[in-house]
Amino acid sequence: MLMSALVSGYPSPVIVNWGRDFHKSPGWFGGSHLGKIDGTLEFLDAITSDQAPKDERLGPDDLILVVDAYDLWFQLPPSLLIRRYMAQNFAAEERIRKQWGISTPWFSSNKTEFVPKQSIIISTQKKCWPKPDLGSDPHCDELPESPAREDLYGPHTDEDPEQFHDVRPRYVNSGSFMGPVGDMRRLLRRAQEKVEEKRAAGINIFSDQGIFAEMFGEQEMWRASKRRYHASGKIIQDAELEIEADHFDYGIGLDYIQDLFTPTVFEEDDGEYVILRNTTALQKAAEDRVIIPPRVYGVPEDMLGIRTPLSEAGIDTQADWADLPLYTDFWSTSVPAIVHHNAHRNGLKGQRLSGWWKETWFFPHLRRLLELHSQPKSLEPLFKVSGQNGAKDLSFWAPAADATKRNTRIFDKEKLKDAGLPESDWDGLCIKEGHEDWWSEILQDDEGPLHVGGSTASES
């Protein structure tokens, strides 16, 4: 995950919970899964405080991405992730306004009515899980339908909820989520409160996914009840609504179209790595899945004109996205920014993590990409939106420290004030007993240890 993020152009990843012994955590039933909640919250509280160095400090409007550590690979640059995030939020707010019967445009300065907002997007899957007997209630039967096309999997789409292949994704998968720091802190703080409330009640909690799913379910049930009340013609005071919203509404939306994050669990056969210029391969992929007519014809429109990391690095200045292998879902046509390889049926997860690693666009160039990335550089915006009607341009930047701190960083609250977020070399991250020569497994290029950023990954 870390290498794929760096070579795809993302800011240096920050690891939370590094070295933490989850057996010592209360309510260990959820283990490291629950650590995603309190560990990430502790990081965000610290990195937004005066204890954090200014060049690494985050503000409430900064965008943050939280992902699982072991089985996600990045494949598209941050500009596309952010663009799609903003597009999904825009579409969601238009949908919400229509549902609430609000006629004022979302961008109007003359707002007199309360309307829910979407600012946090969580990845989706096809199965509602975990079930209520595992410590959290995701309110499966109360969730909204997916806004994705109704015939996504043909004429029997959504008919049988147990036939996962034919079900549109509409349930929380907590492997990836993103949003503004301020909103994410609020979400995580309420999630941690839920964990503590359940522990105090003697309830064993299986995972963070159940907590986030329960919060999303409660949000949607509250929104539905207020829409019904509004439709009845009764008047709801905005002040009353806002008080209730502060408890129930966290601006959560789901990545229904999976163009941000694609979890492969319960959709094991929907996609594969393919070169999108190869029409023969696209045709065969559609035929293998009985998709008639084929839906994927090339690179998604929003990727046109976006330079590849290989081109930007000068490794292959002619490299085009159409010529690089990309994970593609042939039903939804999504080419996601991040692929979550959590499909576990018949041992698929281990097979794909080892076998599909070599299918990624960056694998043949990984050593050179990492060497180049480790060098100090002048920062440029990750994504920029031109202001309209006199508004200022909106730019997304990596933290200023990324100009010189080019490697993965470790969060240690006790060291933050004096050392900031210290970098870790690849030996420190990758070596474990029996895998001292990790580079031979990851790089597979017979060129020995990896030399980056003034440090050497060498034999122990």
- Asked whether residue 7 is assigned to any structural domain, the reply reads no
- Asked whether residue 387 is assigned to any structural domain, the reply reads no
CA–CA separation, 211 and 138 (whole Å): 8
- Tokens representing 409 are 């960083």
Q: Which of 165, 363, 360, 152 is nearest to 274 (CA)?
A: 360
What is the domain count for the chain?
1
pLDDT tens-digit readout, 57-84: 999 999 999 999 999 999 999 999 999 9
Q: What are all long-range contacts of 291-295, with beta carbons under 8 Å and residues at least 24 apart?
A: 291/330, 291/331, 294/330, 295/330, 295/331, 295/333
The residues near 235 (Cβ < 8 Å, ≥ 6 apart) are: none
The residues near 4 (Cβ < 8 Å, ≥ 6 apart) are: 72, 73, 74, 75, 360, 362
Strands 409-410 and 394-396: unpaired
The count of residues in the chain is 460
Residue 88 clears pLDDT 70, i.e. is over it: yes
- Asked whether residue 237 is assigned to any structural domain, the reply reads yes
Q: State percent of the chain over pLDDT 70.
A: 94
Q: Give the C-alpha distances (Å, rounded to integers) separating 270 from 96, 259, 266, 331.
A: 29, 14, 9, 7
pLDDT tens-digit readout, 260-295: 999 999 999 999 999 999 999 999 999 999 999 999
For tokens 């122990």, name the residue: 460
Per-residue burial over 52-66, b = 16 or more CB atoms within 10 Å of its CB, e = otherwise? bbeebbbeeebbbbb
- Asked whether residue 220 is assigned to any structural domain, the reply reads yes
Backbone angles phi, psi at 437, to 5 degrees: -95, 60
CA–CA separation, 291 and 330 (whole Å): 8
- Asked whether residue 422 is assigned to any structural domain, the reply reads no
Q: Give the C-alpha distances (Å, rounded to integers) separating 295 from 38, 324, 333, 339, 427.
A: 42, 19, 6, 20, 44
Residue 379 clears pLDDT 90, i.e. is over it: yes
The residues near 51 (Cβ < 8 Å, ≥ 6 apart) are: 416, 417
* Contact criterion met (CB below 8 Å) for 410 and 424: yes
What is the average per-residue pLDDT within 391-395? Answer: 91
pTM: 0.95
pLDDT tens-digit readout, 425-460: 999 999 988 888 999 999 999 999 998 864 444 332
Task: Tell me which DSSP letter residue 267 carries.
Answer: -
Q: Which of 348, 332, 342, 256 is nearest to 295 (CA)?
A: 332
321 membership: H or E segment, kind and range: none
E strands, 356-438, in order: 383-385, 394-396, 409-410
178 membership: H or E segment, kind and range: strand 171-180
CA–CA separation, 204 and 347 (whole Å): 28
CA–CA separation, 263 and 255 (whole Å): 11
Which residues constitute the domain of residue 129? 29-47+77-258
Q: Which of 17-31, 223-237, 322-336 has the lowest mean pLDDT?
A: 17-31
Burial of 355 (0-12, 13-18, 19+ CB in 10 A): exposed
pLDDT given for residue 110 in this prediction: 52
Q: Which is more confidently placed, 433 or 201?
A: 201
- Asked whether residue 365 is assigned to any structural domain, the reply reads no
